[in-house]
Structure 1
Amino acid sequence: MSVSFDHQLTPSVSVGLQPFAKLPLTGIGYGDASLKSAGVSFSLNIGLFPAKNGKIRSVRY
């Protein structure tokens, strides 16, 4: 499951934020290391190629 927050800057450009958390279901390795990580992923969406119906189609990087 994921959550994404997008904001339209211009008709062909938008930016997005995607918070994430990675939690292991079991211990990892011989010592059962507790590896956890969390953060935010940023995205820039640029509409480079117009769709056939005249609308801009975005390409995600």
Structure 2
Amino acid sequence: MSERSDRILRRPEVESLVGVKRSTLYDWMARGSFPKPVALGPRLVGWRQSDVTTWLEARTPRDRNAR
């Protein structure tokens, strides 16, 4: 895995990449349809860039339009 793929993304960056806001991200996680974040501290989380990229690449065009 490359260094770039191991990068941890914070929520605002994930929102920008995916094109949705916090409430939608957390709704998707509750449904099990979005990668779970990794704990960075007691109240701090982030997402592995590789997990988000893999999730984006796996989505079908129909999924991309259903926000």
Q: Please state which band the TM-score falls in when normalised by the shorter chain.
A: under 0.3
**TM-score of the superposed pair, with normalisation by structure 2:** 0.26
**Structure with the largest fraction of helix:** 2
Q: Which of structures 1 and 2 has the bigger CA Rg?
A: 1
**TM-score of the superposed pair, with normalisation by structure 1:** 0.27
Relative contact order (C-alpha < 8 Å, sep 6+): which is higher?
Answer: 2
